[in-house]
Structures are given as C-alpha cells and as structure tokens.
Structure 1
Amino acid sequence: MAEKQVEQFYAPPPKLGKWEAFSIFLWNPETHQFLGRTGASWAKILLFYVLFYTCLAGFFSAMLAIFYQTLDMRIPKRELDGSLIGDNPGLGFRPMPPESNVESTLIWYKGSDENNYKYWVEELDKFLEPYRKPGQSASIGQNIQTCSYDKEPDEGKVCEVDVNDFAPCTESNKYNYPKSAPCIFLKINKIFNWMPVFYNDTDLPEKMPQDLKVHIREEKLRNPRTINTVWVSCEGENPADVENIGPIQYIPRRGFPGYFFPFKNYDGYLSPLVAVFFERPVHGVLINIECKAWAQNIVHDRIERRGSVHFELMVD
C-alpha cells in the first residue's frame, strides 16, 4: 500500500506597513541583522575593503615613488623639438588687459585721468615686483650675478635684470602713462636649453626692418660682442598703423642679451626684459602693433604668433 504523502503548507509572511518594514530592515531582532547583514557579515566585508584599499594605496604610492625617481625637478624629460612647447620661442607683453577680458590684447587708457590709467600702472608694478627683489632668500641671492657681454654667468649662476636702468620706464615715472607716452614691456618665453643662433651683420634677413639692420651694424662697430643678441623690432601692422605709431625707443637695449641664454632653470632666473617706449603715439586712434624677436633659429608666423606678439594701443 503506497505511503501517504504529507503535504506541507507555508503561510505567507505577514503584511507590514512601510515604516515597520523599514524598521525591520534597519534592525531585525529575530535574525540579528543590521541593514540586511549580520555582524559577522559586516566584519568580513569591512575587512575585505580595508585590505583592498590598503593594498591599492600601497601599490599607487610605490608606482608614484618609482615614477618620481625618473624625474628631475629642474630638467624637463622632453626638450626643444621633442617637447610640446617646441624650439621656437614667442614673445609676451605686459601689462595685460583685465582677466574679465582675457581674449583682448588692447591697451586703452586716458592719460589725463589717473583712475583710468591706474590699472595699467598697477599691473606693471605686480609684474616687475620679482625683478625689484630678486634675491629675497640668501641662497637665491648668492646665485645672481651682474653680467655683461664681456662677463657671462658662471656655471649654475644667473644674470641680474636691473629694472632701475629702464628710465623713463620706471615705477617713479608710472611708466610714463600719465604723459600719454606709455612703456610696454616685452619678454621672451622660456624654453629649457634653447640657445639662439645670433645674426651677424653680414647675414641679416631681407624681411628685417631697415632701421634694425642699421642698429646692428652700429652696435657691432662699438662692441663686436653685442652682436650676440636676440634683437627686437616693433612696427605698425598696417600702413595707417605705421603712420600713427610715432617714434619708438627700446630700453635698456634693443634686444635680449645672449648671456641670458640658454635657460637652465637655475634658482633666481628671471627672463630678460625690453621696455618699448612709445614717445608720441597719435591719440584717439587704435594702433595695431606687432613685435618680433630676431635670431636665425626663430621662425615668424603671424597667424600662430610664433616668434612674435601682437597687441593694440589706444591713448585718448
């Protein structure tokens, strides 16, 4: 006779309200579970993640330490044409327009209104502050030398840039902005280990401004060593700009002396400066100006602004 099968029936769980179900989820007194896990389960999972992230942090730290062993904090890993910067320096100008108008290259002010030209003067004060206090620490101060064409810096040393020798483009004169004859400061962009190939007076390019060619030949007659200079020229971009720009002076000299190169990232190094003094620009007219740096290994490209810089000047 076949055995009678015993049928088992399971009662459905009691219906709970939302708050009661949530309370049971937080802490179930029957199973001793907190947020759906027992204490032992929580201990295991916490131990796993502590060990996992500890190992991950240790691995990352070890890789970072090994990576830093391959770096030199002074010398870049890639240089010149092997780097993103390349081997063709550009020029920069100061003062720059306000950050609110960051895409602008217009220097526009009214010489008779102090509140109007105050911004430009203060921007130059900030820019030149490191040049006025180049050796604030003893170690950096000992690294700065007074250089000349006849005395290049010693190995590991840098040359001083004396901004007190820039008259009338000085702080006491407010860089001549009140006289509606402003000074614009130019600097050449730093490229590690880049060394300019200087022009001789016999190999000057055809596109070089004629007045600069004359200046180079005169400088060589005074001191042949001054030929070792990255020369600078500033001109109006269009015929109308050429007429309105007026006479220009370059202070303290018309270029960046060769003894500032190459840039080796030594402590205390400051880029050499040229102050372009616009003596009598025509007032109330927008003047487009392009300044170029001249060396045999500097290529000029107006569209990409290679080897040059563009800005506009308007003095009311």
Structure 2
Amino acid sequence: MKGDVESDDQQMASLATSGGKTFTADVNILDDWDSDDGICSSRSPKKTCGRIAKLVLFLVCFFGLLALFSAGVMILSSNMFNGNDPEEIADEEQTVDGEVPNLIFEPRIDKHDTLIHCSYDSSVTRPYLKRMNSFIKNLNKDPYNSRDCNDDVTQNGDRPCRFNMSQLGNVCTKKRKYGFDDCRVCVALTLEPKIEWRPLPYENSSVPMEIRERYRSNAVPVTCRGETPSDEENMGPITYYPPEGFHYKFFPYLEQESYNTPLVMVHFENPGKLMNLRIQCFAWAKNIDHNKNEGITKFELYLE
C-alpha cells in the first residue's frame, strides 16, 4: 500500500517536471475558505485571503452604486411624469406660501357695480368721496403701533411698517377731493392682504416691457390701460403715486392688528369726458400670473 502511494507521488512529480518545465496545479481559492467558521483558515495562503477580501469589497461597492443609480433614475422619472422640469422645480423651491392677493380699486360704492361717476353735481360725487375717506382712514387703524421702515426692512409680526400718506402726491388727497373737484380723478389701488404671501422679483433679463422704465426689484409696480384702443386713446396721461408701486416691506401680511395696507393712487390727468372709459389695471411680480387673472382689476370711468 505504501509502495502504491509512493508510486503515485513519483508519477505526479514526473508530470510536474515533464519536459524540463514546472507546472503548478490549479488551485480553487474557495478550497482555502474554512467552511466551518466562514473565515480563511490557518492553512490558507495570505494571497488567497486577500483575493477573497477584494472580491467581497468589489461586490459590496458594485451593488451599492447600482442601488444609488436606480434610486436616481426613479426620482428623475417621477419628476418627468409629474410634468416637472428642472426650471419648474427651481421655481417651486422659491415659491412662497399664501394665496396671491386680489388687486382691488376704490372708491367702489356698490360691490356689484364697477362704475366711478364724476360730475359737477355734488350729489353724484358725494358717495364716492365718502367711500374714499372711509377707505383711507381704515388703511391705518393704529399708527402708534406701526413703525417707519427703511427700504431694506422686511415685515415682522411685532410692529409692521407704516405707510406714509405723503407719497400720494398733492392731488390725490382729501383736501383736493381726490381729483373729483375737476373730474381728473384719483383711483386707489391696493393688494388685498393675504396671509404669508410674498412677492418675488423679476430677474433683470425678464422684466416685462410694460414696467421696465419704473421697475424696482423691491416693489410691486402697477400699470393701467384702456381695454380697447378707443379707451386707451381717451384715457389720457396717467401718474402713479408712489411710482414704484407696493413696496416689499409691507409683505407678508401676518394678521397684525396694526397692519398698514400699502396703497397706489392712479391719477387720470386729462381723461375724455362724457364717455364710458373701460380701464384695467395690473399688479406685477414674478409670482403673479395675469393669465390666471391674478393681480388684475377692472372699472369704468364716466366723467362729466
């Protein structure tokens, strides 16, 4: 028996050195893995254990990167199916809370009627003057709890910024009857307070042509125009007080009891008489969409 084993060993040695060349038998690296305890055994060469470790590390990294890639594809696909592109996602990150406020005009003596009628007959104009006086008075109910703010100040919940009535010029005042004394009327515009809403400024390259000459990045400008070419022609020149519009320092509205609602007076300097002028006015900000009828108000002027 012993002789047979020695004979086999000699044959193997002969094969390994056949032809003057030395051959190494193939070694399965898994044979060096200790199946009992799951680690390289003491009999395993260090080189083989290193190979196994590298293989395990490669597999972990490969499947980890594959999982990250799959997650990224799923997120991108979800955004595409929801109709979102990268620019829209960026805009959403800038979106401010709160519903877009309505642009409203005064004096409006009947909520179902948008006509402003100016006449030399005081009985006609008296209701409009009464309404305008009441509206202006209610804009600043508690001036002592408001404060004067610089242009770079933003609204806070303690003491809101005070609206300076001197910005409304010399004609659009109670003393001058808001232009109703000679039917060169002043129409007041304001943004109805909406909780938490903040206007967003336009980028310099995207400022609309209608406001480019008067635009300031810290205010919501307003413009008015005739609904038809005839209305536009007979509307005459317009002056806005203050010219920049509603300053950002009055936003957002935080339900303060002493909140001052900002105001813009639109002075029709020389409108046509004895005709019904249909006027539409617009408030402008990046997050006011006129296509959705946001920031728009309409009224009629009839001047005798």
TM-score tier by shorter-chain length is 0.5 to 0.7
Residue 153 (structure 1) shift: 4.7
Number of residue equivalences:
209
1:194 aligns with 2:197: yes
1:270 aligns with 2:260: yes
Aligned with 2:117: secondary structure? strand
Amino acid at match of 1:306: E
- Name the counterpart of 1:114: 122
- Name the counterpart of 2:106: 94
Aligned with 1:156: secondary structure? coil
Q: What whole-Å deviation, never above 9, does each CA across 1:234-290 have from its counterpart, x for those lacking one?
A: 111111111011000111233100111111112200211000000011001111111
- Name the counterpart of 1:7: none
Amino acid at match of 1:296: K
- Name the counterpart of 2:300: 312
- Name the counterpart of 2:148: 146
Residue 155 (structure 1) shift: 5.2
Aligned with 1:244: secondary structure? helix
- Name the counterpart of 2:282: 292
Q: What whole-Å deviation, never above 9, does each CA across 1:122-178 have from its counterpart, x for those lacking one?
A: 11011111346533xxxxx2x311113134455522011122432210011111101
User: After superposition, where does 1:73-92 map in structure 2 within 5 Å?
Assistant: 87-92=99-104
Aligned with 2:224: secondary structure? strand
Contact kept? 1:156, 1:266, Cα under 8 Å? yes
Contact kept? 2:139, 2:261, Cα under 8 Å? no
Amino acid at match of 1:231: P
Aligned with 2:180: secondary structure? helix
Residue 305 (structure 1) shift: 3.9
Distance in 1, Cα, partners of 2:133 & 2:157:
31
Contact kept? 1:88, 1:299, Cα under 8 Å? no
- Name the counterpart of 2:160: 158
Could you state the TM-score of these two structures normalised by the residue count of structure 2?
A: 0.64
- Name the counterpart of 1:184: 187
Distance in 2, Cα, partners of 1:132 & 1:149:
19
Give the RMSD, CA atoms, in angstroms.
2.2
Structure 1 162/171 Cα, relative in aligned 2: closer, same or farther at 3 Å? same
Contact kept? 1:232, 1:255, Cα under 8 Å? yes
Contact kept? 1:286, 1:314, Cα under 8 Å? yes
Residue 89 (structure 1) shift: 2.1
Amino acid at match of 2:250: F
Identity in percent: 32
Q: Which has the larger radius of gyration?
A: 2
Tell me which protein shows more helix as a share of its residues.
Answer: 2
- Name the counterpart of 2:172: 169
Aligned with 1:314: secondary structure? strand
